[in-house]
Amino acid sequence: MVRLFSISLLAILAGLTSAKSPPEQEVMAQPVHVMEGWSWTDCGLSTDPIQLESISLSPDPPKPGQDLTVTVVGTAQERIEDGAYADVVVKLGLIKLLTKTFDVCNEARSANATVQCPVEEGQYTVVQTVALPKEIPQAKFSVSVRGYTADDDDMLCLDLKVDFMRSPFLRFGW
């Protein structure tokens, strides 16, 4: 289970999204990016320091027991310093499996990510491969990532949904 949330952390490692509560007068039109078996939503504002442009997975959809390569493209609109952190919540339905705060820069160093703190302004593409355990249950998971700068300002907001349930039609050959 712990490895499942690392999909969402890849976006954080690059410093590639943002999260703020929208002002009441601002109309939010956040697109949901739906792929086979998973989707993501950048739930941040256009003024947030980090803007996500795309997330792609290979294989798509992800499969338990296989390596998963995640490619994240995004833009840092301002410098991200040591001390940036992310709150990650992984749920199975309404049940919280994991609630944890991660130091973004320490995670990037530990993962030997291509982007390290401080993250300067600019566009970044980060490719990371993770091994998904075979033991991932056939279920639908949601991952909520809320990132904050070293000054505790909103930095990123990312919601992921991953469906590891097998289609009931496969056994009938459909």
For domain 6-20+29-172, the CATH architecture is Distorted Sandwich (2.70)
Q: Which of 34-38, 60-64, 113-117, 144-148 has the lowest mean pLDDT?
A: 34-38
Whether residue 4 has pLDDT greater than 70: no
- Tell me the pLDDT tens digit for each residue of 88-137: 999 998 999 999 999 999 999 998 888 999 999 999 998 888 899 999 88
Whether residue 2 has pLDDT greater than 50: no
Token digits for 137? 């249950």
Whether residue 41 has pLDDT greater than 60: yes
Instruction: Determine whether 88 is exposed, middle or buried from the number of CB atoms within 10 Å of its CB (0-12, 13-18, 19+).
Output: buried
Percent of the chain with pLDDT over 90: 56
Q: Judge whether 68 and 58 are in contact, CB under 8 Å.
A: yes
Quote the CA–CA distance of 162 and 37 in Å, as a whole number: 6
pTM: 0.76
